[in-house]
Amino acid sequence: MTVAVQDHRVPTRYVVSLLRLLPANAPARSQALAAACLDFDPLDPDSQGWRADVSAMQYSRVYQQVLAEIEDESFGLKPGVAVAPGAFRMMCYAVMSCDNLGRAIRRAADFYRTLFPQQQPLYANFSEQTARVGYREALQLGTAPAADDAPVDVLDAYALSAWHRFFGWLTGRPLELQRVDFVGNEPASAAKYQELFACPVYFGQPANLLYFDSASLRLPVVHTEQSVDDFLRTAPYQLLTMTRDRHGQSLVARVRALIGHDFSAGFPGFDTVSRALNMSAPTLRRRLKKEGTTFQQLKDECRREAACRYLGQADLSINTVAERLGFTDPSAFHRSFKKWTGITPGTFRTGLLEGSIDPEYNPRP
């Protein structure tokens, strides 16, 4: 029995930070752990089965549950300020019509400056201030000046990383950074910040800034409302896994992003995908072949992964899962799923509940 899905891990302390946003002994805590199929108490390192890390999907499910409980949909993109339910979702839809990353960043900045004029969380600053330090472009995350000798704020680091990954997700590829600045002073764990962003990091600077080459602004936005819906259902999963593909096949990532995981309205056609990527159909076919895959193979992989994710949602019946995957006949879905994984959808769901299969869909011995 094999279900080949890449395993991404997240430190358990991240889950602990989320759970502490809820009152002690709140029912929502246990509900979040149950939704993520976590069989240990992250808050108690001495509990049976405690682990130092969890899967990215488990973390994302806890995140979804906790943020729904506190009515905040920021996904970390507005540190320290609760975002009203629906705001982040509407920002995503607002940037989808932009044809490239530069316009998408400016529209996101306009959206938040209009909605939250006091906080001003994001500045699309592609101008003269970057020239004096020798870089082409910069994105500034608004923040209050740090107090004297105050170390960098962890929330600022998380927010800057989340924006970095979100903009990479928009283009279907990691956004390569040249430098990152933080207002706060250098912390003891400075090396972890450099590892997080994979570029030089400077502390005690005038503003929190991401520096990148201007060519990145011309990258096309490769997503549609359909793929945004999928992203929002599992966020921040796709942000957590975005930079892991830094050395991966970026074209494959962009095609998979366009295909998405919600097929109830049908699959995007090959011509539609090639136009979204600004290349001819023969060129796309040739480049996919060079990377060892085909459009049909990527569609099958996305459909299989979507099936596994939907089956992990206990509130969805198996027939509903089949419909979301575009199957008009539930029996056809059963046959396809068994072909993909070697087991039936019902057996797979039971394995998730019993813990023999984890939410990253890797069978355990």
Q: What is the pLDDT of residues 152-190, one digit of tens each?
A: 776 677 778 888 888 888 887 777 888 888 888 888 878
Judge contact between 245 and 253, C-beta under 8 A: yes
**Which range (124-138, 214-228, 279-293, 336-350) has the least confidence?**
124-138
Reported as a single tens digit per residue, the pLDDT across 323-346 is 888 888 889 999 999 888 888 999
Q: Is the pLDDT of residue 133 over 50?
A: no
Higher pLDDT, 363 or 115: 115
Q: Is the dihedral of CA 26, 89, 264, 357 positive or negative?
A: negative
Task: Indicate the range of 125-139, 154-168, 210-224, 337-351 predicted with least confidence.
Answer: 125-139
Q: What is the overall mean pLDDT for the chain? A: 76
Average the pLDDT over 16-37 and give the result: 83
Provide CB contacts within 8 A for 235, sequence distance 6+. 60, 63, 64, 75
Rounded to 5, what percent of the chain is helix, strand, coil? Answer: 50, 5, 40
Q: Are residues 139 and 132 in contact, defined by beta-carbon separation less than 8 angstroms?
A: no
Boundaries of every domain in the chain: 9-69, 87-218, 249-354
Return the ∠ at Cα 266 (arms to 241 and 167), rounded to 5°: 30
Instruction: Please state the rounded mean pLDDT for residues 210-228.
Output: 78
Model confidence, pTM: 0.62
> Homologous superfamily of 249-354 in CATH?
Homeodomain-like (1.10.10.60)
